[in-house]
Amino acid sequence: MMLLDIFDPKAKPRPIGIDLGTTNSLVAYVRDGRPETIADCDGSALVPSIVHYARNGAVIVGDRAKRLAEAHPQETLVSVKRFLGRGADDPETRQLGPYAFLPREAEGPDVVRFSVHGKAITPVEASAEILRNLKELAEEELHSVGGVVITVPAYFDDGQRQATKDAAKLAGLRVLRLVNEPTAAALAYGLDAKRDGLFAVYDFGGGTFDVTVLVLDDGVFQVKSTGGDSALGGDDMDRLLADELATAFGLTEEVRKKPALVRVLLDLARATKHRLTDAETVTVPNPFVDAPASAATVTRDRFDVLVKPLLERTGKACRRAVRDAGVEVGELDGVILVGGSTRVPYVRTYVEALFGQAPLGDIDPDQVVALGAALQAHQLEGEGEKEEILLLDVLPLSLGIEVGGGVVDKILPRNTTIPTASKSVYTTQEDGQTGFVLHVVQGEREIASDCRSLATFTLAGIPPMAAGMARLEVTFRVDVDGLLTVEAREQTTGRVQHVDVKPSYGLDDETVEKMLLDALDHGEADLQLRRLLENRVEAGRLAKATQKAIVVDVDLLEAGEKETIEAALTALIASAAGEDAAKIKFRMDELDAATKGFAAARMNRAIATAIAGKDVGSIEATVEAALGIEEAHARHGAR
């Protein structure tokens, strides 16, 4: 007799948590108050993040796709996460893997597109296949899946987070929230129950290393700093060990470079590495027929020596992240191990020495992120007894807009806790300007062209006004998922323009680090250039306003005053053409001094005219116009 699986059709959909990893992905849920991962029919919870596109149109995900990778390298997408949210002309991603890409002219520059069997596949679509696979896995176990929490690296930028959400939507998942991987790991350890503390999360995966410093303040997690290396992981251990084995087998340099052998050697090395986690010594029979040695023996001590340089690189990133967080190693209340590579015993010893305390590693480091995501999903769907945990993260890089002269005005500085919002007010540079061009940038440099461009948009339809009269209020909002929305409102007309910033490029932690270092390297020079550009803009505006005033109110000028002002004007204009910021400033002060009496006379007249039968509103406007000259160099101007 066949047993039918009977379930209640009214059964409530269950929330799930997904760790969408570079190497492996997992899905978990909370069962009887405890999180657990969901295994496939082979009993494994780890789904390799690999997607194979068969010629007949079938899409294969996971272990089966992994087995097809060698024979079909261009049709099997490995480590898709590295491409997520990247632009088509991103030189870095185009070098990754053996893939064919569509020429960017064909499809536009917004995202990288793989060309598989002549069809375009985006990283979002490939990621959606992995998510769909995990969703099906969960449905087999739970019958009905509710909302999902998906984890992302703490350094993921807007574009990468948006791409992750898009992939989830494509897979038919309802995203409750994106949560940072390290935060999810801290939740799995129940650290939120402590209310307060300072933690480091050391995540050593297959191809990436990430370190995050988290602070728990009254039950609220904040990411204090992030760091790492996007090209450092267990794969590097495999390569070093493969070399070691090849030498021990006596393979010549020439033989061991053959692509087919490289694959076999790497697989052998990985298996050996895994065995060395439990055994002190591993003997590997030589599978190559024409090599001299019959077997190779690797001790754990030898393996430790091999991987030590890799660990030192992680140590450097950790020290920097701790420094960036503004804390001392000794202040950390706990260190959490995440990622398959932290299974290596020497990694644990190294981390213990580095932080001066034994790390928390008793939850399976492969699963800990997915388990934390499941707990968070459970709480967000209102199934937990505890109050909702607010998960706060920080911006990895500053966000701002380009203002006059091409300099950046930072609206949200780096390391601001999100969600957050901030406003700045700008004005026009030219008389009769009827629109603003807003250029949104990300980065630490002072000059816009040195930062990453996120979006450009225009607020048009403003009635022509004198320079400096329009009031443009720009609001930056970053939501809980780290996505940026920009609103520009012209206050006198009420015109509003919104944009959701969806940058096409992603930034990995290495790029972020490079941008930070660049900013440090160029700090002084950038500041000087910024001062020069700003002073030029101000000088231009001041000169224009003065030139206009001495024509309009010529009758208010005393004998000889016009000549003095004109001489100061000429000197100012000449200095603005030069490279000396201090000189421009000096000339502006000179012009200021020369126009003092004239400006006072103009103001008196403006007030007198206004009072002669006008309402208060227009008096203010007239006075403001009269004040124009003085205000000109007290304000920024959007381009």
| CB nearer ligand ADP, residue 65 or residue 591 | 65
CA distance linking residue 133 with residue 127, whole number of Å: 10
Catalytic residue among 90, 129, 158, 203: 203
Longest dimension (CA), the chain: 114
Site string for ligand ADP, 368-407 (x = CB under 6 A): ----------------------------------------
Task: Report what 366 binds from Mg ion, ligand ADP, none; CB cut-off 5-8 Å by kind.
Answer: ligand ADP
| CB nearer ligand ADP, residue 307 or residue 486 | 307
- 17 makes contact with Mg ion (CB under 5 A): no
Establish how many alpha carbons lie within 13 A of residue 562's alpha carbon, considering only the half-sphere containing its beta carbon.
13
* Tokens 């421009």 sit on residue: 584
> Is 81 designated active site?
yes
| CB nearer ligand ADP, residue 46 or residue 610 | 46
| CB nearer ligand ADP, residue 86 or residue 585 | 86
Contacts of 67 (CB under 8 A, 6+ apart): none
CB of 163 to ligand ADP, least distance (A): 17
CB of 536 to ligand ADP, least distance (A): 49
* Tokens 């380009």 sit on residue: 402
Q: Which two tokens stand for residue 447?
A: 């000059």
- Residue 210 is classified by DSSP as E
Amino acid 276 reads: L
CB 241 within 8 A of CB 297: no
* Tokens 């992905």 sit on residue: 25
CB 321 within 8 A of CB 302: no
- 340 makes contact with Mg ion (CB under 5 A): no
- 21 makes contact with ligand ADP (CB under 6 A): yes
| CB nearer Mg ion, residue 21 or residue 359 | 21
Q: Which of the residues 228 through 247 are near ligand ADP (CB under 6 A)? A: 233-235
Pick one of 17, 23, 84, 539: the residue that binds ligand ADP (CB under 6 A): 23
Selected range binding ligand ADP among 52-60, 203-211, 279-287, 471-479, rule: CB under 6 A:
203-211
The 10 Å Cβ neighbour count of residue 257 is: 11
Compute the chain's Rg from CA coordinates.
31
CB of 299 to ligand ADP, least distance (A): 15
Closest to 151 in 3D by CA, of 215, 210, 111: 210
- 205 makes contact with ligand ADP (CB under 6 A): yes
Task: Report what 497 binds from ligand ADP, Mg ion, none; CB cut-off 5-8 Å by kind.
Answer: none
> Is 450 designated active site?
no
Q: Which two tokens stand for residue 203?
A: 């995540």
The 10 Å Cβ neighbour count of residue 32 is: 5
Give 554: exposed, middle or buried? Use CB within 10 Å, 0-12, 13-18, 19+.
Answer: exposed
CB of 79 to ligand ADP, least distance (A): 8
Pick one of 153, 334, 339, 637: the residue that binds ligand ADP (CB under 6 A): 339
- 76 makes contact with ligand ADP (CB under 6 A): no
How many residues touch Mg ion under the rule CB under 5 A: the total is: 2
Provide the terminal-to-terminal Cα distance of the chain, rounded to the nearest Å: 77
Q: Which of the residues 258 through 277 are near ligand ADP (CB under 6 A)? A: 270, 273-274, 277
Pick one of 35, 205, 540, 628: the residue that binds Mg ion (CB under 5 A): 205
> Is 19 designated active site?
yes
How many residues touch ligand ADP under the rule CB under 6 A: the total is: 21
Selected range binding ligand ADP among 7-15, 223-231, 335-343, 491-499, rule: CB under 6 A:
335-343
Catalytic residue among 81, 224, 410, 585: 81
> Is 181 designated active site?
yes
CA distance linking residue 219 with residue 520, whole number of Å: 34
CB 147 within 8 A of CB 381: yes
For residue 247, give the 3-state DSSP assignment: helix
CB 457 within 8 A of CB 423: no
CA distance linking residue 298 with residue 296, whole number of Å: 7
Selected range binding ligand ADP among 200-208, 468-476, 480-488, 527-535, rule: CB under 6 A:
200-208
Backbone angles phi, psi at 444, to 5 degrees: -105, -10
Catalytic residue among 75, 181, 229, 236: 181
Please state, in angstroms and as integers, the Cα–Cα distance from residue 577 to each residue in 570, 580, 581, following that order: 11, 9, 10
CA distance linking residue 506 with residue 500, whole number of Å: 16
Pick one of 344, 375, 474, 501: the residue that binds ligand ADP (CB under 6 A): 344
| CB nearer ligand ADP, residue 208 or residue 416 | 208
Binding site for ligand ADP (CB under 6 A): 21-24, 205-208, 233-235, 270, 273-274, 277, 339-341, 343-344, 366
Binding site for Mg ion (CB under 5 A): 21, 205
The residues annotated with a catalytic role in the active site are 19, 81, 181, 203
